[in-house]
Amino acid sequence: MAPASNSMAISVEALHQLVQRLARPIAFASRDGGAHLSSVKNLGSFVSHQVVQALADQVFLPHIETELLALRDLFADFDRQSGALEQQQRLTRAKTLLDRLSEIRMPQALQSNGRQASPSRAAMVVWNVPIQFVRGVGSKRAVLLERLGIRTVEDALWYLPWRYEDRSVVTPIARLSPGADSTICGTILAFTVKRTARRGLAIVQVRINDDTGTLPVVYFNQPYLERILTPGTRIMMSGRVTAGRGGWTDLQMESPQYEIIGEEDDTVLHVGRIVPIYHETKGLTSRQIRIIIKGLLDEFLPSIEDLVPAPMQRKYGLPSIHAAFAEVHFPPAGIDVAALHRGTTQAHRRLAFEECLLLELALAMSRQSVKEESGIRFQVDTPLIDELRKRLPFQLTAAQERVFSEIRSDMAIARPMNRLVQGDVGCGKTIVALHAMLVACGSGYQAALMAPTEILAEQHYLSLRGLIHDLGLTSVLLKSGGPATAKTAVLDKIQTGEAQIVVGTHALIQKKVQFKQLGLVVVDEQHKFGVVQRKTLVEKASHPDVLVLTATPIPRTLAMTVYGDLDVSVIDRLPPGRRPIQTWLFTASQRRRAYQIIHDELAAGHQSYIVYPLVEESEKVDLKAAIQAAEGLQATEFAEYRVGLLHGRMKTDEKARTMGAFKAGEIQMLIATTVIEVGVDVPNATVMLIEHADRFGMAQLHQLRGRVGRGTQASYCLLVTTGDGGREVWDKGVKGRDGERGIRGNGVGDKAVKEGLRGTASAAATSSSMGRKTPHPLFEPLCLCGAATAGGVGADGRWI
């Protein structure tokens, strides 16, 4: 790949030229103790402009880029600095920087001839180009893209369409029919703008003509189109055909997507093909993202290195990474659109394969490095375990026993434990973790239990304190608030080792928390913590054992394993006497059936939740929806019961009052936003309806669902989906199977669902491996579909 190393040579060359250009004026300005400073005008804007220009023109290795950005920072507001001293100091720093930059030579590997050079570094550089420097982006759009998780060229190419629209079939105007989404191709005959009398809105009317007829097209309030849609222009338009009073003889299109067809333009983007639809953000439309991605593919795709070796590609019949990216963003004509939507095209498979491969490799490497560290060899046969069991009011389930024995064998050996315990809410993870903590204490070490919220930390502390105390051990709760003296006392106990078990939130990772001898770290509900936080706690001791507890189902947790090489143990049975929660999926139009189930439960004296999502962007709207729903349901559907409302904007004591009333059974139905996610325990609540279920992540759905099924009654979780998400779920997972009836939780045998789950696993896995936080947008609806149909399946009560 000679071109790659050539581009590297060019960038080093360009760097040296830049340094030369800047060195002279900077040297001059700083000479003679700054005597010439006042005679050099606009030095700051000159330097920063030069640097920015260079960054925009060239791709530099990341460390060079960092230096250049630092240089720019020195000069960005240089001209506005009033203090000569400050200016001088900056000039001195700039000279040092320039000296360093002038020393930079081409990397050894790239200096020799093209054949020996390693292309991968140059390819990596291309991959990491900040999106801001890409043509058509710039700093303003970079901010918007960042909101979508796109920072580099790599991120952008992996930002896959979440659905596609087939605009490839062109319909002659004479054959259009009302109600259909159609694409036409013709010439603009006329363009007029009218203003409405009252509000002065601009109504744009365009007439399009093809060989078969003429069609009026209307746009509202876009007068600027006059400059674009000029008569005589060849154009394609895609949109919904509507009929006016004259029916079939009076057709038009309103606000269609359009694409001007130039003379030589053979790459039509927005119509006349299968068009990718991307998730948008405020200020950036799918159409704009499409243009950016197209530009990226044209500019960068050829220099991207294929990580999957050719023999492996052949073996599995996979397309190249170049073909895969090109096709997944701009599918070729004639491809199966349903397969695109399912994410099962060759291109999608190739991308999933790559992600899985990288995940596996990362895991293998991480495993290798952990083996080399040496950890603590605990005395696992501590009498504390027997003592604990004598005091427990129940016996561990077989699943709990199995998981504890896995933990024990980890703790017995010198390799540090890194284990994830996964199990549905209520399966008894805490007590298993307590076993592990006792093993640590039995060997003279301290154990820390870290919970995601204060409420949860306090709950753990209160429920464990008695047991721990009876065993002759001391536990403390570390809170972030509260009186300083109490806190100092707690910190003291941790430092002296008097406290063997420490419970807290992320307060545990603060610098001032010093352990005497921390041997085991338990992290509850991992998905709430960043990896960094976990790492910080772990670094408070030399290679402590780590246990992570999570209710998030395996596909997602699998993804987490890449960070810390977590081995996984699963508690796959609930304690005896619990009944599995039946999970059903409803479309919005089937809401009545869902309400019927709630009615039945309430009539039997049970209680229910209805949960509304609160998503950042539309928080106010959603809050309003929850409040309106509470009022509406109280007034009509559930008038004979008391309906309460709980949301995050309420004052703490208000919340407590409402919760208290619900606990006491004075309120039968609680409409809530996600504030009930953790820490609510009302065994009489047997049914939960989740509105807009498609807007929740898997982990959240699990947490929410865990609020029911806490007693011995049969319990239900009813997922209602609306909008596209719902339709997707419906289409993909269940329609064919159980059409009219609403979804029973028996779809696991369904092929589509299985495929969905598989897709989820790989997509979720991978999004982390590539440093992305959210699951793959394409697979998100599939996540849900898997969850909804596989959950509550059957006798054994397993979620997946």
Which stretches of the chain bind ligand ADP, using CB under 6 A? 394, 396-397, 400, 423, 425-431, 575
Contact 607, 686 (CB under 8 A): yes
> With respect to ligand ADP, which residue has the nearer C-beta, 224 or 394?
394
Classify residue 538 as exposed, middle or buried by CB count within 10 Å of its CB (0-12, 13-18, 19+). Answer: buried
DSSP string, 301-320: GGGPPP-S-HHHHHHHTPPP
> With respect to ligand ADP, which residue has the nearer C-beta, 363 or 467?
467
Residue 566 dihedral angles phi and psi, to the nearest 5°: -90, 130
> Tokens 């919970």 — which residue?
451
* Nearest distance, CB of residue 400 and ligand ADP, angstroms: 6
* Nearest distance, CB of residue 359 and ligand ADP, angstroms: 26
> With respect to ligand ADP, which residue has the nearer C-beta, 206 or 471?
471
State the distance between the two ends of the chain, measured CA to CA, in whole angstroms: 46
* Nearest distance, CB of residue 521 and ligand ADP, angstroms: 17
> With respect to ligand ADP, which residue has the nearer C-beta, 51 or 682?
682
Q: Which of 105, 83, 102, 104 is nearest to 94 (CA)?
A: 102
* Nearest distance, CB of residue 442 and ligand ADP, angstroms: 21
> With respect to ligand ADP, which residue has the nearer C-beta, 275 or 501?
501
> With respect to ligand ADP, which residue has the nearer C-beta, 359 or 425?
425
* Nearest distance, CB of residue 567 and ligand ADP, angstroms: 18
* Nearest distance, CB of residue 325 and ligand ADP, angstroms: 41
The residues near 738 (Cβ < 8 Å, ≥ 6 apart) are 744, 747
**Beta strands per DSSP E along 632-735:** 643-646, 669-672, 685-690, 715-721
> Tokens 């490799």 — which residue?
361
* Nearest distance, CB of residue 410 and ligand ADP, angstroms: 19
> With respect to ligand ADP, which residue has the nearer C-beta, 397 or 766?
397
**Other CB atoms within 10 Å distance of the CB of residue 283:** 11
Q: Please name the amino acid found at residue 590.
A: Q
The residues near 416 (Cβ < 8 Å, ≥ 6 apart) are 370, 373, 374, 375, 376, 543, 544, 545, 546
* Nearest distance, CB of residue 391 and ligand ADP, angstroms: 12
* Nearest distance, CB of residue 401 and ligand ADP, angstroms: 9
Token pair recorded at residue 624? 């309003």
Contact 562, 361 (CB under 8 A): no
Q: Please name the amino acid found at residue 795.
A: A
> With respect to ligand ADP, which residue has the nearer C-beta, 400 or 418?
400
Alpha carbons 283 and 647: distance in angstroms, whole number = 29
> Nearest-CB residue to ligand ADP?
428
Helix (H) or strand (E) holding 206: strand 202-210
**Which whole-number Å values give the CA distances from 338 to 29, 267, 327, 395, in the listed order?**
65, 23, 15, 50
> With respect to ligand ADP, which residue has the nearer C-beta, 422 or 443?
422
> With respect to ligand ADP, which residue has the nearer C-beta, 149 or 683?
683
Q: Please name the amino acid found at residue 606.
A: H
Q: Please name the amino acid found at residue 647.
A: H
> With respect to ligand ADP, which residue has the nearer C-beta, 368 or 712?
712
Contact 747, 753 (CB under 8 A): yes
* Nearest distance, CB of residue 148 and ligand ADP, angstroms: 34
284 has which bridge partners?
281
* Nearest distance, CB of residue 430 and ligand ADP, angstroms: 3
Contact 209, 216 (CB under 8 A): no
Q: Which of 168, 160, 169, 165 is nearest to 297 (CA)?
A: 160
> With respect to ligand ADP, which residue has the nearer C-beta, 548 or 729?
548
Query: Strand 501-504 vs strand 475-478: parallel, antiparallel, or unpaired?
Result: parallel
* Nearest distance, CB of residue 546 and ligand ADP, angstroms: 17
* Nearest distance, CB of residue 426 and ligand ADP, angstroms: 5
> With respect to ligand ADP, which residue has the nearer C-beta, 163 or 702?
702
Report, in this order, helix, strand and coil percent for the chain, each rounded to 5. 50, 15, 30
> With respect to ligand ADP, which residue has the nearer C-beta, 594 or 680?
680
> With respect to ligand ADP, which residue has the nearer C-beta, 575 or 711?
575
* Nearest distance, CB of residue 570 and ligand ADP, angstroms: 12
> Tokens 């129940």 — which residue?
394
Burial of 444-459, coded b for 16+ CB within 10 Å and e otherwise, reads ebbbbbbbbbbebbbb
* Nearest distance, CB of residue 508 and ligand ADP, angstroms: 18
* Nearest distance, CB of residue 544 and ligand ADP, angstroms: 21
* Nearest distance, CB of residue 732 and ligand ADP, angstroms: 30
**Which whole-number Å values give the CA distances from 778 to 39, 287, 646, in the listed order?**
59, 17, 33
Count of H-run helices and E-run strands, the chain: 29, 21
> With respect to ligand ADP, which residue has the nearer C-beta, 200 or 393?
393
> With respect to ligand ADP, which residue has the nearer C-beta, 213 or 575?
575
Report the SS3 class of residue 325. helix
Burial of 68-82, coded b for 16+ CB within 10 Å and e otherwise, reads beebbebbeebbeee
Torsion of CA 588, 590, 594, 595, to 10 degrees: 90
* Nearest distance, CB of residue 578 and ligand ADP, angstroms: 8
Token pair recorded at residue 468? 């721990």
Where are the alpha helices (H) located in 694-779, listed in sequence order?
A: 698-705, 723-729, 735-738, 751-769
The residues near 484 (Cβ < 8 Å, ≥ 6 apart) are none
> With respect to ligand ADP, which residue has the nearer C-beta, 426 or 697?
426
Alpha carbons 374 and 370: distance in angstroms, whole number = 8
**Beta strands per DSSP E along 323-407:** none
